Amino acid sequence: EKRARRVPMPQISVTPVYGAGKDGALCSLLKVGEDVSILLDCGWDDLFDVREVANLASVAPTVTHVLVSHPDVLHLGALPYAMKHFGLKADVYATLPVHKMGQMYLYDQYLSRQAVSDFDLFSLDDIDACFARFKTLQYSQTVQIKGKDKGQSVSVTPFNAGHLVGGTVWRINVDGEDLVYAVDINHRKDRHLNGATLEQIFDKPALMITSGSSALVSPVNKQVRDRDFLNSIMQALRGDGNVLLPVDTAGRVLELICVLEKHWQQHALGNYQLVLLTSVAYNTMEFAKSQLEWMNASFSTSFEHSRRNAFSTNFMKICHSKEDLVKLGRRPKVVMASLGSLESGPARELLVDWIQVPKNLVIFTQQPTAGTLAHHLHTAMADQVRVQVSRRVPLVGQELEQH
């Protein structure tokens, strides 16, 4: 009588590459046996300090797959650099919105910096080459991934994380055991996103990797928050001031657009201008219009009944540069401008122009990354903050001849 030989469970290990123990960019390595090495996120922050991602150099060539959880820089910002400089050649798995919005994030980062100085960490071609390696999945779609020797088989499945559009909780199954990667999740239902429902994803996982950066933050009453937010904006506008909202490129800014557009429509505020100012504003809005199935169910239901898309705005103007903004005239305005960190982009330019006028207002709608200009201003770490302003100036005369 022959007995079936039981194959032992492969050894599983998780190693933080960087980001553990602090609030910022994330990157970890999950190893399953000898031939499956999964990179869990590959983030950077808006400071783009190469020393922060140096540990990735020794890991990248061994990676067989990459799972990306969210489309922002903190979760995928180092991918083009790692593929260009560290030999990362693995396929990248993500949802469609993470793929498309992530590309918008990195385009905006590059264009904002290149507009004022040389940025050589990666190029637009590097970004395109990186995102050509993406394989997109729907929520609850399971795919089998193989290791280098095609031996060990692992399945991965994305589920809604509730934080950013397309944001993902990854369930990784190895020989019937569930491993869960759930960072930056949101259980609460937002205006434009459904909350994460972890109880529907797993029962008793063998391993769960999560983040605790918001564990000590008390939840706020959304109605009170929105009321105070809108009251502050209206007070500044009625005092003939401008309001600057430093925002991310294609993440939580979508919720802000919904809140402000609804308020403008309800109160007929056409005398005050509402503006989205990023280098990829048009593409971001067009993609948002086409991805209602990834958002709050009320969005798609409303579209089915009224054929009105939540992101077909009536009041908000789209601008791609400060020059576009100037053309709108001098009426009081609310400008949502990138980058949210104020490290570069039109938000930094407007800050310099507007901050010395007392009737103007700057509102931070999200926690800035430590070390950035936005963080210094938000936490009031110093009475004075020095801001370096860079501009491209055409060479003329003798300088041009010498060049």
**pLDDT > 90? residue 401:** no
CA distance 303 to 257: 17
Answer positive or negative: Cα dihedral of 329, 334, 340, 341: positive
Picking from 37-46, 131-140, 309-318, 378-387, which range would have the lowest pLDDT averaged per residue? Answer: 378-387
pLDDT at 187: 86
pLDDT at 126: 97
pLDDT higher for 310 or 282?
282
pLDDT at 122: 97
Averaged over 256-263, what is the pLDDT? 94
Strands, E assignment, 138-200: 143-146, 153-160, 168-174, 177-182
CA distance 72 to 253: 12
CA distance 69 to 184: 9
- Is the Cβ–Cβ distance between 43 and 27 less than 8 Å? yes
Is the bond preceding 350 in cis, omega lying within 30 degrees of 0? no
CA distance 34 to 160: 30
Burial 103-138 (b: 16+ CB within 10 A, else e): bbbbbbbbbbbbbeeebebbeeebbeebbeebebbe
Q: Write the pLDDT tens digit of every residue in 17-46.
A: 999 888 889 999 999 988 899 999 999 999
Answer positive or negative: Cα dihedral of 391, 321, 260, 166: negative
Averaged over 239-243, what is the pLDDT? 97
For residue 15, what are the β-bridge partners?
29
- Is the Cβ–Cβ distance between 269 and 337 less than 8 Å? no
DSSP letter at 402 equals H
CA distance 199 to 285: 32
Using pLDDT thresholds of 50, 70 and 90, give the confidence band for residue 240.
very high
Using pLDDT thresholds of 50, 70 and 90, give the confidence band for residue 345.
very high
- pTM (2 decimals)? 0.91
- Is the Cβ–Cβ distance between 12 and 207 less than 8 Å? yes
